[in-house]
Structure 1
């Protein structure tokens, strides 16, 4: 058997490329530029300086209150770099929010430790990422200032809690400034009660009469004090109202009269904006503003495409200079003030009914040509142009992004609005991808079957383009994996290989996840078929891929499958190494476990069972049960059944283990290793119940074909008193078959037992010593605990006792209380239980222990139960007291 020991390269720190493969929008990290008419207000700058004494500053005011420019101006005067992030509506998803916040820190020159990682899925961020970020900031000798502008766009309670967690644990290493229109969801009452917050609200942000007079004069308006006072009274010092008034008044013949009219007659922001900003523009500029209101952001070329003109660059620059609610983002990109854009869109629908969908269709096609696929899809969907939107995903080879990447859930939600009346192979492929990604097999397979028939039927009129057929092959491979159909997977892979040469190499390089997902599905199907080395070839190509976060899901799944292969081959140490790598990949990129098979925790639980660390195994299975998908592929389901059955048997519940062994795994084709593992479990359960004949019936049919089953069959012969038959089975194993230590140790113990029962104690002693040496390297305890009573006398004497010392004894090792202390013995705690115990002594809550150890609260509760049992107590305080008496603390 080939020994594959090479592992994946260590993940490098993110370099500003998001999981979609595109650069992060760095304009969101830029401090907004102050216009020439900006008025610096020293009283507010001093207030912000004083706010550095508290961890949290809240700048909370209405739209147009001048919050952003105030904080931006203050931030430019600080000595230390400031991480600036302008929030977006997409930031309501935790993964998106934290990916951008980490990008903001790096863009500001704030070094972030590589182990912090970066989320790869929109729906969540792993607690370890937050813990490592907080610890990284707390270690610094200076305070890092982070400004979150337009934070009112972030409405997720989960993000608020996560932000509070990082702020609390970063200590003096972080000063957070929230610029928002609404009160955030953080527990502000706690910060207020402890004096840890500084707040600037509308009352402080409002312009005084003197400030308003200076602002108006910068706009060319020199009004009497009484007129300024009247304007301040009417607008209540609202910065946007003052600026809008100045812009409109300076164009009139009598600014003073205009101010009075504004004070008397204009109160609705929409009316004011339309009448005094939009209507004051030339007709061509009005039309331009109305048309670009459908865009999140725009550049001159895009505006020209929507307006069918050529002077957008000049017009936009003029609007920006005039402060006409057109903001410059940098690199020739602009955006409208959201409130202004919303009002303009409403006016567009009234003035030109039916024009908005056409504008969005034009924008979608321009954005796609320019490489902004995500924005193109948003515009196409908003225009209800589903044929274009689905075709863009498939033709750009982006269908894999429905499964992996930062915005996979956004894409899935976008296409959930696609009308069932939209038909054709491309829309059906997208529907199939969305449903299969959600493990909705019934609908996913129906859509895929229809799409495949349509693609095949199009051959008479000329075959569908290669991207369509390649997307179809990817989904066929996934369907084959989910249904346990290895032949179907091989056909899909063969079809894909034939199509690759018809797709531009650059496009494939832009979407490495497409090939990686296909190979992962193929490897899983081969694993189910028992072709371990063929599966390893496909999976290793994925696990070793150096791609970024967009490759996280395929790497996670590939590593988990490779770990299972090692475990089934009897190499628990190698399996543990790969399983931990898989778990690390998931945690580093905050992958939701429901998005994949999650084999890593299952393999770790299996290894814990082999080591007789049953509480640890149970904790992993309990954790995994909460997050498993409703529909699993056969590999994951069979693996879970085997591990659960082995744990039940190790805990002495042979009847439940037998039920697990009989549990069917739905699949188109049966799996040889699944049958083998079921046979092994059933045989061991029958032996535990004292039924060697039933055990023999369970395992004999597999013994000629599988080494592990031959060893188990030999063990059954020994239980029936047929030592010679047992040795014959072991001696009949193929010379070239070199099973891993999990199988080899059991085979050696069978030989040792046969020698012991035939009176050859010397040979038995020598063979047990060899088994101990092999088992100690892997900490394999179960084979010795399952060997039976014959081995106990051997382990209690001489050389064998030394070899078993420290890791294996008849029962479990104990720690005895030292002299002078109460005479009791404590069953040895595992390393993780000692970690929990130490934090228990520090008075940490269950949730705090979970966060500190990067595990779930349920896992901590499982460890606590085990600690209480081993210490013979029922409460936390008793556990700490008992542990101190036993010198465990």
Structure 2
């Protein structure tokens, strides 16, 4: 009786099921589960995704896998709506725990609803929890015989967790080809052998990264909500939401009601919005209590691997839990190599809940993370978490002990470090490391007095420690800052002592640590070289600066000392009268600046002074003025006496070239504050003042300044000889030149002037043949270097010799190749010439763009075209070639 009754019940359920009235439980089918969702009015159709989804017509299996609110369902629903010719069966699956019988009953009903006829032998299951193998087999045979494939969409497939359902569905898919196209919309990886379909090219996949909105799509979405935002505002909201569809829509809904939508989006507080409600309900509350606690704790981290995750959670299985959350698209993103991050909005909401649920725990979590990152050698992360914990003693010690103090001055993290430690204040630790950091912070922004006070305090604190090994890095930091303050104050001996101390301590530190921070010794050598340059030790300066320029080639963190060292080597060339080599080195320094992305205030500015000096020698006075106007915008920590003296002297020489002797004298009268006097700076200043006296007709006053001039430097010596000659002492002038053997030690700007002094003496003595020979030699050498200024400043006596020597020119034109270069194959456009003129003024690509009111990319395009037309590959070659062709 029981057996017959059971069979009767089974027949009743199957019969009702075929009529589409009841499911295996005897309840009516829920029609909403077969309905294709209707997109909202503000829905944005994205053609790139629709085109990708067309692959569902060519592959048996399509997977649309993304996080909650990624727009998966609406994407597929819109794709279905735009293709009415397709036979589409839509089924939104039920909650977890749904039995196999219930699943297959709803799947069959979805097919019937879509118009697929089911024969009598394919009956609805009577048991809600199980189904036999016959049903999938019969259905596969039916679908496999169709002329047109059926598209079966299973939405929210992540709710289906029963392995037997996945196995039966895979059987159906495999044996119904080509009559079935299965589209799974899910948050998690389905329990199907995706690797097989992927290897066979039978899988179409759309995942989270592709579902994310691009800035262009986000702008169009905002317009659909009536919001017209600036590109910057759109980029900002896309970055913050990572292109998450629900986040963008909820932000747009909030901004619609705001009087200033852009400000609303900029100040959007995720933890107090509908975004928080969505993520808490759809993501956090779906997890068990232990997983929720883990998510709250890891929210203090940005990018993190297993070690910091374990440190903040105290769970050995943290990595496994994070991997599971990533697979289930729970807003935990795997960025590669075992490193994870939380979606920024999710992290923001979790941190707010952490503060609410666990008051006072957040600093402790940051402290644990800082210790973990420091042990792993991840200094930036250790510093960030140490600062967030408010443990400034730890944070400063981490920076100093890692030998990274130099990064306050150079490298891409200089601004970040300054901002981070600006929160430290006066009560953030009282050990040597915090004091060193305070000193570095002040010196990096040009506060020499404040930095020196902090540096002395740090020195005193390091001497209190008995164990020298514990303070090696701190003493190294002191040496670096000592060298910098010595440079800034013009105290060369102090710089020498600091560098000797650092070299002695170097052997006490692990070689790997020293090698990891090439900027440390690059800065030290640059400081030493500049201090020696101020002292007039040109050979020692050249040696130190050459080593600094070769340290850490190509590394962004050494870009500033390399650029500054190259620029000061170029300044040495100017002081030795070698303008051509000085120009090449200065442009090499500029190229270093451009390659590394240093903004002008972050560079030294010395190269612009050098180029201005070369322009004065060539009497390109407008260009010299433009270069001097920008040379003052230099890194605050590099505004040393060498820079200030160089600026004053070159400015004065420009005034002399313009016929403004009073302004020239005024430019050098103030002098440069420094603890020691620079012999060459004092001598050059005296020669400028003497030249001003000569221009005003006071030769004896000019001669009275000569005791200030060092006669062991060729440029100063030749200048002194010119003054003696003008003061009526030609014999003394020539004897001075003979004694110093100028021709053997100096460059063309000096030797040309020396030859002209001798020519002037020969002219006075009536030896016109010797004078003509000397002038001819001077003109030839000046021609090669493009020097006009030495011939102009020689005076009226030279004109007859120039008429004979160069009948078509009062003085020689800029240097040209022995064979005149051919003109460009294609004429440069006006805009290309505009760009080249600014390139000759040592302007960066960004500065040219700003000056011409065009984009950086437009400038790069003009430069590329100009390089092609001039047959050159670099900016200095382009400038040189343009000069040769008189294009500037």
Q: TM-score range by the shorter chain?
A: 0.5 to 0.7
1:517 alignment partner, SS class? helix
Partner in structure 1 of residue 70 of structure 2: 66
Q: 1:397 aligns with which of 379, 403, 412?
A: 403
Runs of 5+ unmatched residues, structure 2:
1-36, 53-66, 79-208, 232-237, 254-271, 816-822, 854-885
User: 2: CA distance between counterparts of 1:629 and 1:148?
Assistant: 47
Q: Which residue of the other structure, out of 807, 825, 830, is the alignment partner of 1:838?
A: 830
Return the match for 2:666 from 638, 645, 659. Answer: 659
The 1:792–1:45 alpha-carbon spacing in structure 2 relative to 1, beyond 3 Å, is same
Against the structure 1 CA distance between its residues 693 and 768, is the aligned structure 2 distance closer, same or farther, given a 3 Å change threshold?
A: same
CA distance in 2, matches of 1:236, 1:618: 51
Task: Find 2:319's aligned residue among 313, 327, 330.
Answer: 313
Deviation at 1:788, TM superposition (A): 0.7
Q: Which residue of structure 2 lines up, in the alignment, with residue 283 of structure 1?
A: 289
C-alpha distance after superposition, 1:416-465 (max 9, x if no partner) = 0003112111001011111111111121111111111211233x465643
Shift of 1:551: 1.6
CA contact (8 A) 1:455 1:463 kept: no
What is the 5 A alignment of 1:533-544?
533-544=539-550
1:582 correspondence with 2:589: yes
Is the 2:684–2:709 Cα contact (8 Å) retained in structure 1?
no
User: Pick from 377, 381, 388: which aligns with 2:387?
Assistant: 381
Matched, 1:410 2:384: no
Q: Deviations over 1:488-526 (max 9, x none)?
A: 100000001101111111111111111111111111101
- Cα distance in 2, alignment partners of residues 837 and 655 from structure 1: 42
SS at match of 2:728: coil
Give the match for residue 693 of structure 1. Answer: 700
Please report how far the alpha carbon of residue 400 of structure 1 lies from its aligned counterpart in structure 2 after TM superposition: 1.3
Distance 1:346 1:190 in 2: 29
1:756-771 aligned within 5 A = 756-771=763-778
Match of 2:471 in 1: 465
* Structure-1 separation of matches of 2:690 and 2:46: 77
> Residue 618 of structure 2 is aligned with which of 603, 611, 617?
611
Query: Secondary structure of 1:777's match?
Result: helix
SS of match in other structure, 1:334: strand
**Cα distance change on mapping 1:530 and 1:641 into 2, 3 Å:** same
* Equivalent residues in 2 for 1:797-876, closer than 5 Å: 797=804, 799-801=805-807, 807=813, 838-839=830-831, 856=848
> Per-residue deviation at 1:322?
2.9
- Contact 1:619-1:859 at 8 Å conserved across structures: no
Secondary structure in 1 matching 2:334: strand
After superposition, the CA RMSD in angstroms is 4.3
Q: Tell me the secondary structure at the aligned position of residue 330 of structure 2.
A: coil
Q: Secondary structure at the match of 2:546?
A: helix
Equivalent position of 2:863 in the other structure: none
What is the 5 A alignment of 1:516-527?
516-527=522-533
Q: Work out whether residues 439 and 450 of structure 2, in 8 Å CA contact, stay in contact via their aligned partners in 1.
A: yes
The residue correspondences of 1:138-177 to structure 2 (distance < 5 A) are none
**What is the Cα deviation at residue 760 of structure 1?**
0.6
Aligned residues of 1:850 and 1:860 also touching (Cα < 8 A)? no
C-alpha change, 1:47 and 1:464, in structure 2 (3 Å) is closer
- Of 776, 781, 789, which residue of structure 2 is paired with 1:774? 781
* Residue of structure 2 in register with 1:365 after alignment: 371
The answer to whether the 8 A contact 1:477-1:492 is kept is: yes
| TM-aligned CA distance change 1:568 to 1:43, over 3 Å | closer
Residue 883 of structure 2 aligns with which residue?
A: none
Counterpart mapping for 1:486-525 below 5 A: 486-525=492-531
Distance 1:282 1:571, change over 3 A: same
> Kindly tell me: are residues 713 and 398 of structure 1, through their superposed partners in 2, closer, same or farther at Cα, counting changes over 3 Å?
closer
Q: Distance in 2 between matches of 1:857 and 1:237?
A: 36
Q: Deviations over 1:718-762 (max 9, x none)?
A: 323333333233233247952221111111101101111111100
Secondary structure at the aligned position of 2:435 is classed as helix
Compared with structure 1, are the counterparts of its residues 147 and 394 closer, same or farther at alpha carbon in structure 2 (3 Å cutoff)? farther
Are residues 553 and 188 of structure 1, via their aligned partners in 2, closer, same or farther at CA, if it must alter by over 3 Å?
farther
Q: Are 1:512 and 1:547, in contact at CA under 8 Å, matched by a contact in 2?
A: no
SS at match of 1:406: coil
Counterpart check, 1:302 vs 2:308: yes
- Name the CA distance, whole Å, in 2 between partners of 1:188 and 1:280: 36
How far apart in 1 are the matches of 2:550 and 2:809? 38
**Deviation larger for 298-307 or 461-470:** 461-470
Task: Note the alpha carbon deviations across 1:2-36, whole angstroms, 9 max, x for none.
Answer: xxxxxxxxxxxxxxxxxxxxxxxxxxxxxxxxxxx
The residue number in structure 2 matching 1:640 is 647
Q: Secondary structure at the match of 2:680?
A: helix
User: Do residues 440 (structure 1) and 441 (structure 2) align?
Assistant: no
Is the CA contact 2:618–2:814 (under 8 Å) kept in the aligned structure 1?
no
- Higher-Rg member (1/2): 2
What residue in structure 1 maps to residue 357 of structure 2?
351
Give 1:322's match in structure 2, choosing from 321, 328, 339: 328
Say which of 746, 758, 762 aligns to 2:753. Answer: 746
Does residue 453 of structure 1 match 2:460? yes
Does the C-alpha gap of structure 1 residues 858 and 380 become closer, same or farther in structure 2, counting only changes over 3 Å? closer
TM-superposition CA deviations, 1:151-172 (whole Å, max 9, x none): 88xxxxxxxxxxxxxxxxxxxx
Once the two structures are TM-superposed, the CA of residue 290 in structure 1 deviates from its matched residue by 1.1
Residue 793 of structure 1, CA deviation: 1.1
For 1:600, the equivalent position in structure 2 comes to: 607
Which secondary structure state, in structure 2, belongs to the residue aligned with residue 328 of structure 1?
Answer: strand
Residue of 676, 688, 705 corresponding to 2:683: 676
Measured after TM superposition, the shift of residue 629 of structure 1 is: 4.2
Counterpart-to-counterpart distance in 2, 1:69 and 1:858: 46
Q: Could you list the per-position Cα deviations for residues 766-822 of structure 1 after superposition, in whole angstroms to 9, with x for gaps in the alignment?
A: 00011112211211111110011110011112x44479775179xxxxxxxxxxxxx
Q: Which residue pairs with 2:47 in the alignment?
A: 46
- Give the one of 294, 298, 314 matched to 1:292: 298
Please state whether the residue corresponding to 1:371 is helix, strand or coil: coil
User: Given the two structures, how large is their TM-score scaled by the length of structure 2?
Assistant: 0.64
Quote the Cα distance in structure 1 between the aligned partners of 2:324 and 2:591.
51
Q: Is the 8 A contact 1:699 1:712 kept in 2?
A: no
Which whole-Å deviations, capped at 9, do the CAs of 1:162-196 have from their partners, x for residues lacking one?
A: xxxxxxxxxxxxxx777899799xx98999xxxxx
Question: For the Cα contact (< 8 Å) 2:490–2:676, is it kept in 1?
Answer: yes
Distance in 2, Cα, partners of 1:860 & 1:608: 23
Q: Which runs of 5+ in 1 are unaligned?
A: 1-38, 52-62, 75-145, 153-175, 192-198, 208-234, 242-265, 810-830, 862-886
Output the CA distance in 2 between the equivalents of 1:851 and 1:733: 39
Deviations 1:179-225 (A, max 9, x none): 899799xx98999xxxxxxx9xx9x9989xxxxxxxxxxxxxxxxxx
CA contact (8 A) 1:619 1:858 kept: no
Partner of 2:879: none
Task: Tell me: higher relative CO, structure 1 or 2? Use CA pairs within 8 A at least 6 residues apart.
Answer: 1
Q: More displaced, 432-441 or 484-493?
A: 432-441
